[in-house]
């Protein structure tokens, strides 16, 4: 790679991504992806296909990236310097978002008839695809053959997610969310080693809902953002990841098997079914109490408030941490506290029998539903303060710490 003359001597040049924006309604998400990458100090050059330009404008792409947008393979100015070669070689990573069925087919079969496909064939850098298309197009045997060939060729793929599609149908085909793609880009630029390959990770996330009657329930403020980010990070590190998710507004993380539950009883059963696992991260905010008997009909307001007979819900963290042949090698819990954070989290770690606790002071700083967080990592050797960071960055940091703890050279017990 050529030296960037704009970078002062002695300073490292910023990492650079070549982002190819293909046609499809999901192209609008590419604008958010550019912003997310720029927040990470990653320089972004963009190739906009003719179809992509039907959905987003070159002006908006240029304004967000801060660089010119490349569109034409046969521009004399660009091709006098072999522009498609330089574009692909000067990047550290090539990202295609959205990756259409057509562009995937071109790359899988070696076709190059426009700037995007030519740059993809000319690159000697890693390639990350974020597919987006109709569910039947995604399921089609030709698309799946092309996908298998691309993976065999070493191309990385994130998504697609399942859900409501722009065409009105429901199923797999939604492009992964920009923050997930940006996290995958950061992971690949940092080396992208599958440090947890061959491991099975179990993650719980979100709140639980404990029914009172057919209308009401007991729950809490958890959004699931942290648990979902951790599941996605562990999957990026190569772990086969099962996410047991309470009711949230979040989509399923890419590359993760997600089991949806409502109550603590359902979450406990799903965790038991997902065992054995090498890693368990219990990030869910499980309700502490449930009604001994749920009312079959809506409870009416008739003067005096009803008296509820409450019993404790299953203690999932303590159950997963229980010694035995099915206990994961590393169990991580969470503690949302409002008092003496370190003392209460340390006591919880001992009481539950887990190896690590990530503790939040939820009285000092808004945590639930926020995109950033501050935690202390509590282990058998003490407390370690982590700086305020995004929940995605925390997930990445935790995944690296887990990988280090489970590395062959690590001590047998991370506690």
Nearest of 218, 229, 230, 340 to residue 279 by alpha carbon: 230
Residue with tokens 């149908």: 169
Q: State the DSSP string of 139-207.
A: HSHHHHHHHHHHHHTT-EE--PEEEE-TTS-EEEEEPPPHHHHHHHHHHHHTT---TTTT-EEEEEESB
Query: Token pair of 202, please?
Result: 């179990």
Residue that the structure tokens 């997963």 belong to: 320
Cα 266-269-273 angle, rounded to 5 deg: 135
- Tokens describing residue 310: 């409450």
Instruction: Tell me if 281 sits within 8 A of 202, measured CB to CB.
Output: yes
- What b/e readout covers 199-225, taking b as 16+ CB neighbours within 10 angstroms? bbbbbbbbbbbbebeeeebbbbebbbb
Which of 286, 264, 282 lies closest to 321 in space, CA to CA?
A: 282
Considering 167, 271, 282, 354, which one is annotated as catalytic?
167
Whether 48 contacts 40, CB under 8 Å: no
**Residue 97 host element (H or E):** strand 93-99
CA–CA distance, 69 with 49 (Å, rounded to integer): 10
> Is position 271 annotated as part of the catalytic site?
no
**Cα(352)–Cα(179) distance, rounded to whole angstroms?**
33
How far apart, in whole angstroms, are the C-alpha atoms of residue 217 and residue 209? 6
Q: For residue 265, give the 3-state DSSP assignment.
A: helix
Give catalytic residues, as residue numbers.
Answer: 167
């Amino acid at each position: 790679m050529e030296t960037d003359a704009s970078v002062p001597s002695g300073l490292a040049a910023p990492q650079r991504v070549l982002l190819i924006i293909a046609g499809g309604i999901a192209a609008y998400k590419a604008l958010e992806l550019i912003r997310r990458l720029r927040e990470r100090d990653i320089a972004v050059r963009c190739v906009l296909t003719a179809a992509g330009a039907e959905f987003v404008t070159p002006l908006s792409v240029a304004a967000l990236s801060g660089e010119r947008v490349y569109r034409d393979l046969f521009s004399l100015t660009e091709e006098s310097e072999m522009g498609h070669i330089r574009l692909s070689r000067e990047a550290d990573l090539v990202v295609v978002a959205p990756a259409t069925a057509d562009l995937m087919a071109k790359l899988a079969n070696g076709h190059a008839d426009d700037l995007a496909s030519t740059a993809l064939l000319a690159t000697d850098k890693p390639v990350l695809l974020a597919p987006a298309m109709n569910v039947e197009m995604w399921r089609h045997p030709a698309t799946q053959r092309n996908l298998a060939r691309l993976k065999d060729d070493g191309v990385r793929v994130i998504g697609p997610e399942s859900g409501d599609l722009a065409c009105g149908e429901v199923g797999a085909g939604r492009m992964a969310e920009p923050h997930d793609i940006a996290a995958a880009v950061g992971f690949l630029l940092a080396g992208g080693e599958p440090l947890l390959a061959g491991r099975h990770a179990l993650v719980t996330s979100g709140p639980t809902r404990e029914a009172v009657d057919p209308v009401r329930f007991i729950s809490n403020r958890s959004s699931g953002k942290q648990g979902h980010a951790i599941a996605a990070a562990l999957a990026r590190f190569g772990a086969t990841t099962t996410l047991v998710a309470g009711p949230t507004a979040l989509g399923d993380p890419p590359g993760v098997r997600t089991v949806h539950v409502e109550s603590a009883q359902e979450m406990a059963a799903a965790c038991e079914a997902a065992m054995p696992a090498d890693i368990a991260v219990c990030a869910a905010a499980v309700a502490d109490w449930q009604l001994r008997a749920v009312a079959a009909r809506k409870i009416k307001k008739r003067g005096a408030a009803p008296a509820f007979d409450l019993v404790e819900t299953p203690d999932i963290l303590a159950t997963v941490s229980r010694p035995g042949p099915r206990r994961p090698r590393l169990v991580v819990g969470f503690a949302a506290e409002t008092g003496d954070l370190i003392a209460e989290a340390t006591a919880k770690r001992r009481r539950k029998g887990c190896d690590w606790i990530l503790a939040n002071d939820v009285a000092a700083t808004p945590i639930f539903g926020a995109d950033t967080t501050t935690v202390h990592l509590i282990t058998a050797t003490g407390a370690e303060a982590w700086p305020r960071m995004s929940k995605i960055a925390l997930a990445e940091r935790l995944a690296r710490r887990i990988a280090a703890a489970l590395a062959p050279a690590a001590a047998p017990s991370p506690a």
